[in-house]
């Protein structure tokens, strides 16, 4: 763990194993921290807050730019570690490191634009000044599916704003977190400003993060169930809260879209990170007129995907995170099959060629999916593309919005009118229009309803770490 500028063991001396999900091999050990370690980390961040928050924004921008340079220099090493620890194919890991580095550069640039306002008063002898200041110590909890970019998306704006941090990474991917911390400390982030607590049992750490009065903000990315619990605890402490949670993205193919082009987009998007992405499409609504062409192309593309160890050339789909994830996917597919879904490709666990040592499920297409099936409502977080055929273009938005999630949605159409109408009516925070990658460090990312609170990235991403302060000045 990294506390007050030192790499240390847990107070208890305990450690936990980190494994490769493609092979089951143990690839490292990390300190198994507890509540006392979390409190030490909070104390270090609290001590470091006064000196760090009073550095100039120009200085913080320079440190972040150095971190961006170092992350780019170490990109290949980071990507290889990510594939070994998290499982995604090396090409996807390289892409993620680039995305992670983009957040650092973006917020380095944004730091220099931190400004206030000179505001009018109704009194001729009064002036108002408003400034934005860092909220204080930030507690961050991050997931395993994007084990580097989910850290920089929180660390870069927090540091740019002048906050100090404590962070607990997912227990499946602490080695990636360690290397991200090395990047930032080598770039010159002073001792105590960023602290890392690793743990196999996250609950005691989460409790300290959400109840210690020195922590002023909680930022969390992960499941809706855990996010809701932590946000409630943080709310009771009146901490600022931003939570990026689960999703259940609709992917709408209108009858005027090229169905084969849409199917190629769906195949590329759905199987990224083996479907373990919060913006992964979970309901593909295809108009009846386009359905045959769409399903044929999707099935062809999915049948051509090679699942395996992400380090191997040609592998397009890696393992799932653990056995429970494979079981969840298998249960959803069985439920759909038993209720009448077709399975033109996939639909089983992969065990041949040593894949039984890891956590693999075959890339799968489900057809004739209906609202009675679990997959229609619950996030799959696995390599399954459920196709729902619809008839009425006037009803499809209502179908798409019929979910308690609200993160991402996708629309394929050749009509500008249809595209803008869908963009405005969909109750989701991120809409891809004929586009399967509607994210960037430069734009706000986040969801509505049970998909979360707050935004990361864009100008909004910095606001989450700032507090507004106002001065009324009398000229009398
Ligand atoms: P998870 O909620 O189980 O774990 C996320 C993090 O929370 C991990 O670090 C875990 O250790 C920690 N955690 C779990 N219980 C905790 C507790 N009681 N106290 C403190 N920390 C606790 O989720 P996951 O399985 O790691 O991630 C998958 C989920 O994350 C999916 O639902 C996915 O949609 C979501 N996700 C959302 C986004 C987004 O930006 N909206 C991005 C990636 C993943």
Say yes or no: 192 and 236 in one domain: yes
Burial group, residue 438, by CB count within 10 angstroms (0-12, 13-18, 19+): middle
**Cα 153 from Cα 439, distance rounded (Å):** 12
Q: Assign residue 126 the CATH number of its domain.
A: 3.40.605.10
Q: Report pLDDT for 294.
A: 98
**Cα 138 from Cα 193, distance rounded (Å):** 10
Say yes or no: 310 and 171 in one domain: no
Residue 321 binned pLDDT confidence (cut-offs 50, 70, 90): very high
pLDDT digits (tens, 9 = 90+) for 375-413: 999 999 999 999 999 999 999 999 999 999 999 999 999
Q: What angle do CA 224, 23, 319 make, to 5 degrees?
A: 40
Q: Report the largest interatomic distance among the alpha carbons of the chain, rounded to a whole angstrom.
A: 83
Q: Report pLDDT for 473.
A: 98
Name the residue of 143, 201, 206, 378 whose CB sits within 8 Å of the most ligand 1 atoms, as the mutation to test its pocket.
143
Which H or E element spans position 469? strand 466-474
User: What is the percentage of the chain residues whose pLDDT exceeds 70?
Assistant: 100
Q: Report pLDDT for 85.
A: 98
Residue 283 binned pLDDT confidence (cut-offs 50, 70, 90): very high
User: What is the percentage of the chain residues whose pLDDT exceeds 90?
Assistant: 100
Burial group, residue 137, by CB count within 10 angstroms (0-12, 13-18, 19+): buried
Q: Is residue 441 part of a domain?
A: no
Tell me how far apart the terminal alpha carbons of the chain are, to the nearest angstrom: 55
Say yes or no: 318 and 211 in one domain: no
Q: Which residues line ligand 1 (CB under 6 A)?
A: 141-146, 168, 170-171, 202-203, 205-206, 221-223, 226, 230, 244-247, 278, 379, 381, 407, 447, 452
Say yes or no: 366 and 460 in one domain: no
Q: Report pLDDT for 148.
A: 98
Q: Give distance in angstroms: CA of 227 to centre of ligand 1.
A: 7
* C-alpha 64 chain-centroid distance: 21
Say yes or no: 141 and 264 in one domain: no
Residue 220 binned pLDDT confidence (cut-offs 50, 70, 90): very high
Q: Is residue 233 part of a domain?
A: yes
Name the residue of 210, 220, 223, 457 whose CB sits within 8 Å of the most ligand 1 atoms, as the mutation to test its pocket.
223
**Cα 309 from Cα 22, distance rounded (Å):** 5
The per-residue pLDDT of the chain, averaged, comes to: 98
Give the number of the atom of ligand 1 that is nearest the alpha carbon of residue 199.
11
pLDDT digits (tens, 9 = 90+) for 139-166: 999 999 999 999 999 999 999 999 999 9
Say yes or no: 300 and 181 in one domain: no
Domain limits at 145? 2-246+449-474
Q: Is residue 438 part of a domain?
A: no
Nearest of 101, 198, 112 to residue 155 by alpha carbon: 101
- The answer to whether residue 163 is catalytic is no
Q: Is residue 444 part of a domain?
A: no
Say yes or no: 235 and 126 in one domain: yes
Say yes or no: 294 and 197 in one domain: no
Burial group, residue 471, by CB count within 10 angstroms (0-12, 13-18, 19+): exposed
Q: What are phi and psi of 411, to 5 degrees?
A: -135, 130
Q: Is residue 440 part of a domain?
A: no
CB-CB neighbours of 421 under 10 Å: 14
**Cα 284 from Cα 252, distance rounded (Å):** 6
Q: Assign residue 304 the CATH number of its domain.
A: 3.40.309.10
Residue 366 binned pLDDT confidence (cut-offs 50, 70, 90): very high
Total number of domains constituting the chain: 2
Q: Are 115 and 180 in contact (CB under 8 A)?
A: no
Say yes or no: 266 and 362 in one domain: yes
pTM above 0.95, yes or no: yes
Q: What are phi and psi of 337, to 5 degrees?
A: -60, -45
**Cα 18 from Cα 29, distance rounded (Å):** 6
pLDDT digits (tens, 9 = 90+) for 108-138: 999 999 999 999 999 999 999 999 999 999 9
Tally the residues of the chain. 476
Nearest of 329, 415, 344 to residue 375 by alpha carbon: 329
Say yes or no: 389 and 468 in one domain: no
Say yes or no: 258 and 280 in one domain: yes
**Cα 418 from Cα 438, distance rounded (Å):** 18
Which of 338-361 are b and which e, b meaning 16 or more Cβ less than 10 Å from the residue's Cβ? Answer: eeebebbbbbebbeeeebebbbbb
Identify the residue whose C-alpha is closest to ligand 1 atom 20: 206
| Range 370-379 average pLDDT | 97
- The answer to whether residue 69 is catalytic is no
Catalytic residue among 96, 110, 244, 379: 244
Say yes or no: 76 and 196 in one domain: yes
Nearest of 40, 43, 68 to residue 155 by alpha carbon: 68
Burial group, residue 1, by CB count within 10 angstroms (0-12, 13-18, 19+): buried
Q: Is residue 180 part of a domain?
A: yes
């Amino acid at each position: 763990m990294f506390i007050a500028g030192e790499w240390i063991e847990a107070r208890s001396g305990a450690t936990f194993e980190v494994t490769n999900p493609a092979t089951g091999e143990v690839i490292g050990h990390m300190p198994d921290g507890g509540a006392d370690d979390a409190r030490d980390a909070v104390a270090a961040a609290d001590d470091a807050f006064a000196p760090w928050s009073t550095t100039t924004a120009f200085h913080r921008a320079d440190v972040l730019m150095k971190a961006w340079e170092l992350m780019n220099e170490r990109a290949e090493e980071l990507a290889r570690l990510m594939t070994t620890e998290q499982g995604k194919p090396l090409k996807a890991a390289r892409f993620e490191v680039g995305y992670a580095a983009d957040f650092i550069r973006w917020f380095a640039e944004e730091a220099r634009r931190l400004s206030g306002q000179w505001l009018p008063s109704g009194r001729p002898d009064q002036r108002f000044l408003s400034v934005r200041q860092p909220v204080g110590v930030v507690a961050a909890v991050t997931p395993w599916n994007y084990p580097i970019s989910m850290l920089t998306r929180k660390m870069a704006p927090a540091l740019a704003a002048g906050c100090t941090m404590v962070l607990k990474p997912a227990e499946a991917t602490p080695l990636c977190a360690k290397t991200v911390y090395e990047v930032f400390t080598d770039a010159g982030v002073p001792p105590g400003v960023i602290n890392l607590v690793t743990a196999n049992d996250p609950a005691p750490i989460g409790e300290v993060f959400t109840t210690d009065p020195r922590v002023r903000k909680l930022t969390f990315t992960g499941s809706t169930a855990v996010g809701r619990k932590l946000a409630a605890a943080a709310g009771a402490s009146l901490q600022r809260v931003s939570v990026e949670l689960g999703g259940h993205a609709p992917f709408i193919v209108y009858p005027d879209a090229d169905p084969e082009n849409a199917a190629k987009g769906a195949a590329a998007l759905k199987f990224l990170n083996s479907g373990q992405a919060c913006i992964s499409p979970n309901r593909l609504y295809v108009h009846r007129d386009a359905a045959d062409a769409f399903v044929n192309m999707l099935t062809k593309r999915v049948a051509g995907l090679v699942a395996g160890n992400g380090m191997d050339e040609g592998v397009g789909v890696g393992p799932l995170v653990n056995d429970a994830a494979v079981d969840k996917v298998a249960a959803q597919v069985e439920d759909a099959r038993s209720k009448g879904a077709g399975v033109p490709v996939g639909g089983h666990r992969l065990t041949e060629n040593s894949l039984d040592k890891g956590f693999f499920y075959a890339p799968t297409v489900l057809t004739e999916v209906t609202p009675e099936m679990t997959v229609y409502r619950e996030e799959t977080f696995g390599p399954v593309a459920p196709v729902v055929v619809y008839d009425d273009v006037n009803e499809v938005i209502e179908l798409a919005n019929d979910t308690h999630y609200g993160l991402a949605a996708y629309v394929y159409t050749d009509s500008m009118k249809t595209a803008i109408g869908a963009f405005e009516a969909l109750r989701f925070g991120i809409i891809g229009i004929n586009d399967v990658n509607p994210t960037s460090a430069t734009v706000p990312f986040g969801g509505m309803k049970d998909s979360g609170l707050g935004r990361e990235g864009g100008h909004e991403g910095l606001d989450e770490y700032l507090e507004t302060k106002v001065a009324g000045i009398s000229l009398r």
